[in-house]
Structures are given as structure tokens and as C-alpha cells.
Amino acid sequence: MSRAICYHGVVTINEKIFIIAGTTTEFFEGTTDTVLVFDPTTNTCTKLEPLPYRVLYMATVAWKDNVVVLGGDDDEDNTYNTVILNNVTTRSHRKLPEMTKKRYDCRRYDHRLGCMG
């Protein structure tokens, strides 16, 4: 990888490691929309089509040939309820129906209370 990334999502599909968004700093201003794939057999890291928005603290899960990206925060501390299906074979993504609650860090954020729920 050309730079360090933290607070990102990561899944393994077909023996390749997919690194989803995150931040290049310890703060929100470095939030990215980057999708990287690392192939350990060739020791190469390739940049794929970016997500439609910058996000960190999201949940990611592998499903068939897809990375599902759920919720997260952006660089202005807005919490999402979005769900993105990122197909690693076609290198395309599409939005799925939104979650009923905004979530980041794999938990629900309650804006009224200002805390994790």
C-alpha cells in the first residue's frame, strides 16, 4: 500500500484482501472513498473504483463476490444508514435499501443522546 489507512473495512474474497475506505490520519479530515485489493500471491495492491462517498468506521462483510458496506461516518462526523453492494468481479457498486437506523463502528449512534446505543 502506498499509505497507511486506519478505521477501514476489510474482507477476504477469492483469496484476495479488500481494503475499504477509512482514513489516512487519526482524524476525520483524511477520510477516503478508496477501494483497494491486495493479492498476496503476487504481492500487489490495486486501486479499484471508489465508493460513491468518503466513509470510515463502517461495517463490511463478504457475500459471494461482493463487499457489503454498511453505515459509517464521513469526514464531517455525519453518520450513515446507507448500504453499498460492491461487486469485486465487475468492479461496480450499487446502493441497496437503507438501514432503519444510522450506524457506525458496528453499533447504532443516537444523535439525541449523543452516544452509542
Q: Is residue 3 part of a domain?
A: no
Average pLDDT value for residue range 94-110: 80
The enclosing domain of 38 has a CATH number of 2.120.10.80
> At residue 109, does pLDDT exceed 70?
no
DSSP conformation class of 4: -
φ, ψ (nearest 5 deg) of residue 58? -90, 165
Please give the residue range of the domain that contains residue 54: 9-116
pLDDT digits (tens, 9 = 90+) for 24-79: 877 667 889 999 999 999 999 999 989 999 999 999 999 999 999 999 998 888 89
Q: Is residue 18 part of a domain?
A: yes
Long-range Cβ contacts of 19-25 (<8 Å, 24+ apart):
20/51, 20/58, 20/60, 20/67, 20/69, 20/86, 21/51, 21/54, 21/55, 21/56, 21/58, 21/69, 21/72, 22/56, 23/56, 23/75
**CB 65 within 8 Å of CB 87:** yes
What pTM did the predictor assign? 0.83
Q: What is the mean pLDDT of the chain?
A: 86
Q: Is residue 1 part of a domain?
A: no
Number of structural domains found in the chain:
1
